Amino acid sequence: MQHIKIAVIQAELVWHNAGLNLKNFSEKINQIKEQVDLIILPEMFSTGFTMQPEEISETMQGEAVKWMQETAAEKKSAIAGSIVISEGEKYYNRFLFVHPSGEINFYDKRHLFTLAGEDKVYESGKEKLIVNYKGWKICPLVCYDLRFPVWARNVEDYDLLIYVANWPKIRIAAWDTLLKARAIENMCYTIGVNRVGLDANNYEYNGHSAVYNGLGEQLAETKPNQEETAVFTLDKNHISEIRNKPGFLNDRDTFEIK
């Protein structure tokens, strides 16, 4: 597909209440009048950004995972976002990309947010994921990953970079700046989906969900501090044009991540 239509949902999250969060997202998804190819939700969209995974985690056969599969099938659209997953005694902040067929690709957040102690309760991911969907190569990453450009470096020639987040208002200037930088340096579309509202720890989130093209030009944004669904279409011709000329990715350095 030369074009892909995407919906991003910037929403408040109810603390540790998967049932209510899934109900709220179902309502928002049902309000989308257009047929879209991909729906993107924030980080830990079913619970909020929690350091108590033992209270709310689920397996890959759990409630939120099944909801994503059912919603993707019903809407004939892929759906993506991160949730808390348990495997044995370990917990993961796991980004799930659920295809309309029910197939799941997943990425475990590599850079755990040490300031909040995320590294003490969650396992770090080891593998970068590139999703192939409708002819688009998509790289999904999570929140704090945004601060680490080496991990995001576009050595796979992916077309679209996605960050889902619970990024607080106090550091939102960094979010805005780094999203734009990742788009420019990787010559790809870059989407950031953040939440709004207060969490149980009294941290405030003000959204600033946005879309940039491969030259760093902002194509779409949501209103700060408000729940909003933004729908937009990306054109793959843009990626081909900027990689052929000026073609800056041809001069990238090679490196090994250890």
Q: Are strands 210-212 and 218-221 parallel, antiparallel or unpaired?
A: antiparallel
User: Which residues belong to the active site?
Assistant: 43, 109, 143
Cα–Cα distance, 52 to 195 (Å, whole number): 19
Cα–Cα distance, 207 to 175 (Å, whole number): 10
DSSP codes, 15-33: TT-HHHHHHHHHHHHHT--
Q: CA gyration radius for the chain?
A: 17
Q: How many beta carbons lie within 10 A of that of residue 55, not counting itself?
A: 10
Q: Are strands 131-133 and 136-142 parallel, antiparallel or unpaired?
A: antiparallel
